[in-house]
């Protein structure tokens, strides 16, 4: 029955902190364990649920509420979900926690703005600095780190593989995912 | 394993045709069979996924695409879904069918505008006739009936209970829901 236990692994962290990289590693690991899984990352959601919304506090909140609505529908039916949006505001993340209760696992992907900006894999920080992108989290818009997340990974100190392993261990210990089969 | 077979029962029909009444009967019946189930009705979706959207063709299409996106996520993970929005346009319903393939069951709730207007349970037809509501399906906005729905129920000729029973029989025959336990 372990594979029937729905949960929502809710990543939060700056752009470039490593949410997507870690998510991809987790997807591979959970597939290997034959677990169901859906990923709601920022881009998928903005395309399918929130097209037309901008990046004001109000629009960001609506976007995150929609992610939470869908994550709740899935997880309460036993489907594990990973959300990988920046989700910068504490109050809305706490709203999602309130909806999902014990199914909600907040995973803070910690990395300084400086480190994320140095990586700048998508070139977004450069655009934020030049003013081409307004309201960019960490540069011209606030990021509120979680106060007591279930998991914190620090991608300045750990490799993405190490971060992913830490999360897998957490999920396994609490029976959210089936134990790995020895191969 | 029968209860693990996801499907999307996609109702389409005029306002007042009986979609919600039949849905409520189905919910009771499926719960009795211990089946998982989620209902995405027009109001739930407009509140949680589509606030701010209007009733132009473009906005209706976006709304229906969001319903289809969520219905697909659920049904492909073995969760039965009932959608109960008017969904007046054939092309977007066909798009939903394309996404979900054999999991998609179009159920046409047939009733004439006259019959629906006579019921007018929510008082919406009166508002549409007086012009208070613009772009009202069947009055000032088109309704395109499905050409080959999997199921048609006619709520002028049948009671809601009869319509619901017809649908239950369809779902049971095809193994979408577990057979009723004799009580």
Looking at residue B183, what is its pLDDT? 55
Judge: A49–B62 Cβ closer than 8 Å, yes or no. Answer: no
How many Cα atoms within 13 Å fall on the side-chain side of residue A19?
23
CA distance linking residue B19 with residue B127, whole number of Å: 20
Is residue A171 within 8 A of residue A75, CB to CB? The reply is: no
Quickly tell me which residue has 């364990």 as its tokens: A33
Q: For residue A44, what is the nearest residue in chain B, using CA coordinates?
A: B69
From the CB of residue B179, how many other CB atoms can be counted at a distance below 10 Å? Answer: 10
Q: What share of chain B is helix, strand, coil (3-state, %, to 5)?
A: 45, 15, 40
Kindly name the residue from A17, A50, A75, A87 that is annotated as catalytic.
Answer: A87
Residue percentage of chain B with pLDDT more than 70: 96
Would you give per-residue pLDDT tens digits along chain A (183 residues)? 334 689 999 999 999 999 999 999 999 999 998 889 999 988 888 899 988 888 888 999 999 999 999 999 999 999 999 999 999 999 999 999 999 999 999 999 999 999 999 999 899 999 999 999 999 999 999 999 999 999 999 999 999 999 999 999 999 999 999 887 665
CA distance linking residue A111 with residue A109, whole number of Å: 7
CA distance linking residue A128 with residue A136, whole number of Å: 6
CATH T-level topology, domain B2-113+143-173: Rossmann fold (3.40.50)
pLDDT digits (tens, 9 = 90+) for A132-165: 999 999 999 999 999 999 999 999 999 999 999 9
Rounded to the nearest 5°, which phi and psi values hold at A137? Answer: -55, 130
Q: How far apart are the first and last CA of chain A?
A: 21
> What average pLDDT is seen over chain B?
93
The complex's ipTM works out to: 0.90
Judge: A49–B51 Cβ closer than 8 Å, yes or no. Answer: no
Task: Tell me which chain A residues have a C-beta less than 8 angstroms from the C-beta of B79.
Answer: 74, 77, 79
Quickly tell me which residue has 């089969």 as its tokens: A181
- Choose the closest CB to A77 out of B48, B51, B79: B79
Q: What is the DSSP string of B118-165?
A: HH-TTSHHHHHHHTSS-S-BTTTB-----SS-SEEEETTTS-HHHHHH
pLDDT digits (tens, 9 = 90+) for B138-177: 999 999 999 999 999 999 999 999 999 999 999 999 999 9
Superfamily name and number for A2-173: P-loop containing nucleotide triphosphate hydrolases (3.40.50.300)
Quickly tell me which residue has 């949960």 as its tokens: A7
Judge: A49–B69 Cβ closer than 8 Å, yes or no. Answer: yes
Q: How far apart are the first and last CA of chain B?
A: 21
Which helix (H) or strand (E) element contains residue B42? helix B42-48
**B87 catalytic, yes or no?**
yes
Is residue B150 within 8 A of residue B106, CB to CB? The reply is: yes
Closest CA to A45 of A5, A4, A96: A96
Judge: B38–A73 Cβ closer than 8 Å, yes or no. Answer: yes
């Amino acid at each position: 029955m372990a594979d029937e236990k729905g949960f929502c692994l809710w990543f939060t962290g700056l752009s470039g902190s490593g949410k997507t990289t870690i998510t991809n590693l987790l997807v591979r690991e959970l597939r290997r364990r034959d677990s169901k899984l859906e990923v709601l990352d920022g881009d998928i959601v903005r395309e399918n649920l929130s097209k037309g919304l901008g990046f004001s506090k109000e629009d960001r909140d609506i976007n995150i509420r929609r992610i939470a609505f869908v994550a709740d529908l899935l997880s309460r039916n036993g489907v594990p979900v990973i959300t990988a949006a920046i989700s910068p505001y504490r109050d809305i993340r706490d709203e999602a926690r309130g909806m999902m209760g014990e199914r909600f696992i907040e995973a803070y992907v910690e990395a300084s703005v400086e480190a994320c900006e140095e990586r700048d894999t998508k070139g977004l920080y450069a655009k934020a600095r030049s003013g081409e992108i307004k309201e960019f989290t960490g540069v011209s818009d606030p990021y509120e780190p979680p106060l007591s997340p279930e998991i914190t990974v620090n991608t300045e100190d750990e490799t993405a593989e190490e971060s992913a392993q830490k999360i897998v261990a957490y999920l396994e210990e609490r029976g959210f995912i089936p134990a790995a089969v020895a191969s």
